[in-house]
Every structure is written in structure tokens, then in C-alpha cells.
A and B are shown apart, each in its own frame.
Chain A
Amino acid sequence: MAEFIQDIQQDEYLINMGPQHPSTHGVLRLVLSLKGETVMSVQPHCGYIHRGIEKMCERLTYPQIIHLTDRLDYLSAHINNHAVCMAVEGAMGVEIPERVKYIRTIMDELARIASHQLWWCSFGMDLGALTAFFYGLRDREPILDIFEESTGGRLIQSYYTPGGLMKDIHPGFQKRVKDFIKYFRKKIHEYDTLLSGNVIMMERTKGIGKLSKEDAISFGVTGPSGRGSGFACDVRKHHPYAAYDKVEFNEVLRAEGDSFARYSVRMDEMKESMNIIEQLIDNIPEGDFAVKMKPVIKLPEGEYYQRVEAARGEFGVFIHSKGEKYPYRFKLRSPNFSNLSALHTIAHGQKIADLVAIGASLDYVIPDIDR
């Protein structure tokens, strides 16, 4: 910090945004250097909720780790768990039933829709459109109900386990999912009429916070934020897992790279997710919801890496095993951490009020950054 203060110019001044600031959606502290209202540099200070999950995992068995990876990006809890489960299953050479793959894919996509809905809520709220917040939360409720019915959890489910699922889906699952999609297809038009076409919203996002494709790749900005810059990084498309190779869907790309591009990618992704669910929901195969795993899972020696597409980008799990029931090293590649590293490049030269819109369009979840 001391060296950093010496770096700033005479006519610039420093302000702290956060750690307690509504637009950072958690405890993230940004040290801004300003010239008038123009942002000259952004220095993120992370670690306010660093829990040392990677270290804790070195003393936990693989089925126990599931309960910690939920708590990284809690809005894509299912998807994070999916990565850990697949890494363990891949290392053990376990072939999981088709039924599990289908259910996991549907759950992942439901989580993605719920996550994008909450992002849309807070995006509107950060720009001063409070109605958006109520609309989004209203439509997220049915998904949480579906989760609760089958998994017992609303926000954090711990539903996947190495080898399959904790429990089979609720008998009413398929009907409720289909009802929800029917409902949400109507409601998503309201989102567009309320916010997407709004003049104030367009003025504040179009051409603001540009990130070039080269920078997006170099900074590892993935997920909807990267695809808003034209970086084709959808793991579901390029390295298909679970049932993603059985469904047809488009990878949503925008070339502009501004806040509005990131916004519209997420809006279209919700529609794509509904398409994916619709292709799978009637075809869930019969069978077991889990294969019997050994009571103590010991991964063979070696290094394993598994990538999945979380709601905010590419999530990766790296396991170095020495053949014991605990991992020797457990590393999590979190999408938000890489996305945050590009914040200075995106926000440089923008107005401070636009930083709020940029932050909202990047959609960071702080526990995923700090781990």
C-alpha cells in the first residue's frame, strides 16, 4: 500500500470503495485513484473473507469437500460440486449412470438461470432500477422451491456426491420444472421491456467499460463476461461433459465488449439454458441415482484437473493425490478471481459512477474470489 500511494500523481486522490459498499455485493475493497470523476486506477484488495478452503480441503475426504465447494460461488453451488465430483469420478474410473448425468445437467442449468436472475436483480438495482430487484427475486423463487423439494436446500444444496446424487429427484420434479419454464418464458419479456430497452440503462452501459477480445483471453476473463468480448470460452461447448453433448444450444457471443454486451449475453443465456432443460426434462432415463462407491475414497496417485462452466465462467478443480483419502493439494480455479484481475483495464478512464455499472456487469461473487 505504501509504495502504491507514492505512485499517484499530485492532482489525483485516493478513495476507498468498500469493503462495505452495496455495489460490490460483498466485502471487496477497491482503492480508486481519481482525477476529478475519472478513474485512473483500480486496486482490488481481496481477502476479507478468505477462509483457506484449499488448505482445509487437505484435511477432508472427498465426499466432505463437496460441502465446502458449495460455499465458493454460492450462486452456482451445484456447478462447483459437479466439478469436484467429476474430478473424483474421472480419477477413480467410475462410469456414472446416464440418469445422473441428465439430472446434473438440468440442475446445473437451473442454477445458472437462478444465478443470472439474481445478477439481473442487482444489475438493475445498482443502476437505480429498484423494480428489477423485485421482478428478479419473484421469478427466482420457483427455482429455489424446485431445489428445496428435491435436495432439501435452497441456496446451498450439496446435492451431488462422488458417484451420483445424494437422493433421487422428487416425483414432481419434472412437472415443476416444465411449469417453471412455461412461466419464465413469459416473464423474461418483462425483463426486456423493463430494463433492456430502457434509455437510461442503455446510456449508462453502451460503450462503457470496454474489454477487447485479446485482453479478455490474456486476463482469462471467462463466462458471460468473456463472451461479451467475443472470447468463445464456453466449456460446455468446447469440452462437453455430463449430458451437454446430447443437447443443441448456441454459445452466445457478442463482439462489442462493453457493459451492455455482457448484459445481453446473460439475458440470452437464460433463454439458452431453458432450451437445454427442455431437451432433457422429458428424457431422463430410468436407473440408479448413484453408483456404490467405496466407503473411503482413495484417489490413485496423480494429478487430475476438471473444468466446468459455472455461471460466472470457467471453474476448475485441480487435485494432486498421493493415494490417500485426503488430497495432497487441492486447487480451485475460480472464474471471479481472473475476471477481477481485468477490472483495472476495464475501468481505466471511465467515470466513477460507471464503475458501479461495470462491476454489476462483471457480476462478481466475493467468496469465490477469496476462497
Chain B
Amino acid sequence: MNNEQLKARILSFEPSAEITEGLQYLTATIASDKLYALARNLRQSNDTAFDYLFCLTGMDYGDSLGVIYYLESTILNHQLVLKTVCPDKEKPVLDTVCDIWKTAEFLEREVFDLLGINFNNHPDMRRIFLDEEWVGYPLRKDYSDNNTIVR
């Protein structure tokens, strides 16, 4: 599918999606409560068939936290970037996509560990790199640690 067709298809799944032509990939920004349904549709529908999540990254935008999903279809060979933002920075919560793409289980644990975003329905929401007793989320912009971070 080319970008135009893909755009139309995403809008047919979710009319509220905001779609921009990014520098490299088509980018769809979507509200956090609509994300799971759209992701499942993109995975299951035969004409989109996004079966490979090649990157999942958490973001601290300063006033909000979000997650970016890089998707590819190994069958149709097209790519898409999904973006979402947690509505509440104090209690950031998103729905997990690890039942759609299994690789998300570890990647979401990493985001939880370093940015403190909780994922609903995740089977094993624990820290992955840091100790269970670690206080704070190091990749957040307001994280401070006088011993290890030199300003």
C-alpha cells in the first residue's frame, strides 16, 4: 500500500486519527484510549497486516509522556509510525499491545522501568533493568541524581 491508501485505511478504522507525512514514515497520532483497537485492526486486517513491531520507544515531551510504535508489514512491505500520549502525567497509563506483538512485552517493561508508564493488562509489569527498590524513572527529564548525572 502506498501512503495515500494507507492514510485512507487508517481513517476508516479510526476517523479521529491525525495523520502526517513524517520525514521518513507516515505518522498517525491517536488518543490513548483508541490506540489498542486501531493497533489490533492494523495487525489483523489483510490489507494492512502490520505484523512486525520493530521499535517501541517511550518519550518524555516535558509536559506529557508518550509512546511511539514503529510498525512494518513483512508481507506488504510498508511502514507506519503510531504515536500516542498519556492524558495524565501524574498517573501515566496506556493499554498494552503485547497480545498483538509479543515483542512488546519486554519493550513495554523497559518503558515502565525507565519512564514510569504503566501498561494495562500487561502480564508482568515489573522493572527490567533497575532494582525493584529504585526510586524514580531515570529517562524522565525531571529526574535528578547528584551522584551519577553531571549537569
CB contacts under 8 Å to B, within A294-343, are 302-305, 307, 314, 316, 318, 320, 329, 331, 333, 337-338, 340-342
CB contacts under 8 Å to A, within B21-76, are 22-25, 51-55, 57, 59-60, 68, 70, 74
Chain A: CB-nearest residue to B127: A47
Q: How far is the CA of A333 from the CA of B110 in the complex (A)?
A: 12
The interface stretch among B5-13, B86-94, B101-109 is B101-109
CB contacts under 8 Å to B, within A143-158, are none
Contact status B55-A46, CB under 8 Å: no
Cross-interface CB contact of A318 among B57, B77, B129, cutoff 8 Å: B57
Cross-interface CB contact of A338 among B51, B106, B148, cutoff 8 Å: B106
Q: Say if the beta carbon of A233 comes within 8 Å of chain B.
A: yes
For residue B129, which residues in chain A have a CB less than 8 angstroms away from its CB? 46-47, 50, 370
A-side interface residues, number (CB < 8 Å)? 36
Contact status A217-B74, CB under 8 Å: yes
Q: Say if the beta carbon of A278 comes within 8 Å of chain B.
A: no
Q: Is the interface of B mostly helix, strand, loop or mixed?
A: loop
Given contacts A305-B70, A337-B106, contact A329 B53 (CB under 8 A): no
Contact status B130-A341, CB under 8 Å: no
Contact status A55-B55, CB under 8 Å: no
Contact status B150-A329, CB under 8 Å: no
Q: Give the interface of A toward B (CB within 8 A).
A: 1, 46-47, 50, 52, 54-55, 59, 215, 217-220, 231-233, 238, 302-305, 307, 314, 316, 318, 320, 329, 331, 333, 337-338, 340-342, 345, 370
Top 7 nearest A-B pairs by Cβ distance?
Answer: A47-B129, A220-B103, A341-B106, A50-B129, A331-B57, A218-B102, A333-B55
Sample (21) of A-B pairs whose CB atoms are under 8 Å apart: A46-B129, A52-B138, A55-B139, A215-B102, A217-B51, A217-B52, A218-B102, A220-B101, A233-B52, A303-B68, A304-B24, A305-B24, A316-B55, A316-B70, A329-B59, A331-B57, A333-B55, A333-B57, A338-B107, A341-B103, A345-B102
